[in-house]
């Protein structure tokens, strides 16, 4: 995570009345969560880069060469063929899912979960998906503190809508499939929740 206070030490000092000085004042006032949220927005919104599209278009061959069963290959090809190449979140997430699935870098259950959330994004229903996950958390085998932290994250994400909801859902999925101390994961969720307030 980014440091709580963002300090700029390089470059010419300003009196705060130009563009750089204004940015410094905002960053110091709002802290690292604002700064990190803007980094996330920059990385996931707008037009996809040509390099990102190039990687995406090469995935068809990766699927064909993989050791997956034909049914799994067909499923990934369908996911790939439905991608919106003008939507950066769709391009990035489709690439990550296909690459991780073909390389067996994530359990099938996790891959299914990511695919389900990506489809909700494509249908313009990611906020509804996040709200549905809040309800689903009640039946999960998690500690009360975990459920509370994750519910807060999903609530903030759903209220922000769009990218905020998608990031909340993605982090929820990762949380459930990461083998790590629960207290550390809860702290991280708290940081993510604060960041999502600025997305």
- The rounded average pLDDT for each run of 10 residues, N- to C-terminus, in the chain (199 residues) is 37 49 53 81 89 96 94 95 96 96 91 97 98 95 95 97 96 94 93 93
- Please check whether residue 116 is in contact with residue 122, taking contact to mean a CB–CB distance below 8 angstroms: no
Give residue 165's pLDDT. 97
Same domain, residue pair 17 and 114: no
Q: What are phi and psi of 124, to 5 degrees?
A: 70, 25
Which of the 8 DSSP states describes residue 49? P
Same domain, residue pair 116 and 167: yes
Same domain, residue pair 147 and 183: yes
Same domain, residue pair 146 and 55: yes
Give residue 25's pLDDT. 56
Same domain, residue pair 54 and 119: yes
Containing structural domain, residue 129:
50-196
Count of the separate structural domains present in the chain: 2
88 alpha-carbon distance from chain centroid = 12
Same domain, residue pair 10 and 84: no
Q: Which two tokens stand for residue 41?
A: 């927005």
Same domain, residue pair 20 and 113: no
- Please check whether residue 99 is in contact with residue 62, taking contact to mean a CB–CB distance below 8 angstroms: yes
- Please check whether residue 91 is in contact with residue 52, taking contact to mean a CB–CB distance below 8 angstroms: yes
Angle among Cα 16, 19, 21 to the nearest 5 degrees reads 25
- Token pair 């769009």 in the structure block, residue: 162
Give residue 121's pLDDT. 98
Residue 161 lies in a domain: yes
Same domain, residue pair 90 and 178: yes
Give residue 42's pLDDT. 81
CB atoms within 10 A of CB 140: 12
Residue 40 lies in a domain: no
Same domain, residue pair 172 and 109: yes
Residue 42 lies in a domain: no
């Amino acid at each position: 995570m980014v440091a709580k206070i963002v300090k700029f030490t390089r470059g010419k000092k300003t009196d705060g009345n130009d563009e750089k000085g204004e940015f410094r004042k905002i960053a110091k006032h709002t802290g690292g969560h604002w700064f990190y949220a803007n980094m996330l927005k920059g990385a996931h919104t707008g037009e996809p880069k040509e390099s990102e599209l190039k990687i995406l278009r090469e995935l068809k061959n990766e699927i064909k060469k993989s050791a997956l069963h034909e049914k799994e290959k067909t499923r990934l090809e369908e996911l790939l063929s439905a991608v919106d190449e003008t939507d950066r979140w769709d391009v990035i997430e489709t690439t990550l899912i296909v690459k991780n699935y073909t390389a067996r870098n994530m359990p099938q259950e996790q891959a299914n979960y990511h695919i389900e959330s990506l489809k909700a994004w494509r249908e313009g229903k990611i906020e509804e998906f996040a709200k549905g996950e809040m309800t689903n958390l009640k039946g999960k085998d998690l500690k009360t503190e975990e459920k509370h932290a994750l519910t807060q994250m999903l609530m903030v994400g759903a209220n922000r809508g769009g990218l905020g909801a998608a990031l909340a859902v993605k982090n929820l999925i990762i949380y459930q499939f990461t083998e790590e101390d629960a207290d550390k994961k809860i702290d991280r969720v708290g940081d993510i929740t604060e960041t999502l307030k600025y997305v």
